[in-house]
Amino acid sequence: MPALKRSRGEDLEAAQKAPTPKKSKVVNGNVPGPAPRGRGRPRRAEDAARTSIPAPVLNTRPSQKLDIYVFGAGEFGELGLGSKKYDDKRPTNVKRPRLNHLLSADRVGVVQIACGGMHNIALTHDNKVLTWGVNDDKALGRETNWEGDDDDDDDDAGLDPQESTPAEVDFSSLIKKPNFVQVAATNSASFALTDDGYVYGWGTFRGSDGILGFSPEVEVQERPVRVAGLENITTLAAGSDHMLALDRDGRVFTWGSGGQYQLARKPVSRHGGPKATLHPMVCGRFTKGRHAVKIAAGAYTGFYIDNRGKVWSWGLNNYSQTGHSDQAGKDNAVVPAPTLVHAFQKKSIIHIDGGAHHSLACSSEGELFTFGRVDGHQVGLREDAFNEENAVFDPAGKPRILKIPTAVPDVKASFVASSSDTSIAISPDGKGYSWGFSENYQTGQATRKDVEVPTPIESDDLAGKRLVWAGVGGQYGIVASEH
């Protein structure tokens, strides 16, 4: 969704009907999780603990240390640059990618990172989980009790030093800290996957009426707790206020807010009411010989790629952001269950991601595809690319919706990331491109104007670097290179 400067306690809910306001915040920064190993049912962690036999390891933590570069508004500490100037540079309004000195590869060693709406979470090589950004809904998993400072230090940017500085999540409530392999973040919650296939989380989910809850029993989870009902998980993916988890048997679980069918099930249960959606459940039914191998999410959508290379999607579809064109332009249009995306049947899609009302994908051949909302240059195409076959036009003749996934010319991509109305693609040779909404410099292009087409992301700190990952939050972006 588009980004809007808000007070920190304000609801982050986005409009559901077309057209929607251009300035709201949504999250979607995800990193593909570790590949599953083998099959069969592993020993439960509790049983293993009783018998002193280690639970089987399903997943492996990444080992490559990353250099982390940040850009965007940072007015709520989302850039993780601390609260004071460093090297005579302020920690806010970063126009082009800047190396984050507080996440030094040599001293900290981040190996994986995820963007939330207004907070971030990172995993280090030595099993530390770090968070920074807004903690109103306890998404940081640690105390941040700063009450302000009267110091008139010229280096002070007025930020909460505890929120704006990356620090470790508090796992003291657990008997033993697990070994983590992946982290993920929604707008107001954080999650971490363990090597033996369990999921821990904290924070809360929000719905159309404000806080929905973290679980049916807990409204706001202040400290990490294991998510009930999830075992043998190999990958996580986060939407705006919903989660996806892939297990070793290729099943997809969903939970969180479900008002736009982003969970691929009815948003209200006869037996559990609206909070029933907070319990993870299997999404869709797989036919014999077919299972999911990769998962992804947009703000109100879900995706998986199956073992035959086919793309399935569901959720809010008023701008054809699921890749299904039959309901383009209809208010409250939804795809209620995982449905095959026919536009990709002859393509080998290797990565997919969604924003608020648009989505991106890339193929094994390096093709970059975009689809969905057009009016903020979300799809990265010039106006002459739209026609009666692939687009919906408004009464004035302006393109409004790209209803069919369409290849973006002159750009190769092997990784895509999106949130709100801003997108980033990384080419096979490690170059970054961004486009879309840029009012808070979240494209990294040093402009507050919309960026019409994919444009190289450049800065002095990025010179000669090969990018391997990107993420976009509500008002900021992050890219990473191998150290």
Q: What is the pLDDT of residue 420?
A: 87
Q: Which domains does the chain have, with CATH numbers?
A: 45-482 (2.130.10.30)
**Spatial separation of the C-alpha atoms in residues 86 and 366, rounded to whole Å:** 38
The DSSP code for 1 is: -
Residues contacting residue 43 through CB under 8 Å, at least 6 positions apart = 53, 55, 56
Residues of the chain whose pLDDT is less than 50? 1-51
Cβ contact 380:454 at 8 Å: yes
Task: Identify the residue whose tokens are 């989505």.
Answer: 359
Task: Determine the distance from the C-alpha atom of residue 191 to the mean position of all C-alpha atoms in its chain, rounded to a whole number.
Answer: 12
| Closest residue by Cα to residue 186 from 62, 22, 300, 357 | 300
Q: Tell me the DSSP string of 269-295.
A: BTTTBGGGGGS-EE-S-PPTT--EEEE
Across 138-166, b (16+ Cβ under 10 Å) vs e yields bbbbbebeeeeeeeeeeeebebbbbbbbb
**Spatial separation of the C-alpha atoms in residues 382 and 453, rounded to whole Å:** 7
Q: What is the pLDDT of residue 149?
A: 65
Helices (H) and strands (E) in the chain, counts: 2, 31
Q: What is the pLDDT of residue 289?
A: 83
Task: Identify the residue whose tokens are 């703000």.
Answer: 299
Bridge partners (DSSP) listed for residue 282? 253
Rg (alpha carbons) of the chain, rounded to whole number: 21
Task: Determine the distance from the C-alpha atom of residue 89 to the mean position of all C-alpha atoms in its chain, rounded to a whole number.
Answer: 28
**Spatial separation of the C-alpha atoms in residues 108 and 105, rounded to whole Å:** 5
Q: What is the pLDDT of residue 161?
A: 96
Bridge partners (DSSP) listed for residue 304? 295, 312
Range list of β-strands (E), 134-198: 167-168, 180-185, 189-194
Cβ contact 208:16 at 8 Å: yes
| Closest residue by Cα to residue 1 from 249, 273, 241, 178 | 241
Model confidence pLDDT, tens digit, residues 402-430: 999 999 999 999 999 998 899 999 999 99
For residue 365, count CB atoms less than 10 angstroms from its CB and return exposed for 0-12, middle for 13-18, buried for 19 or more: exposed
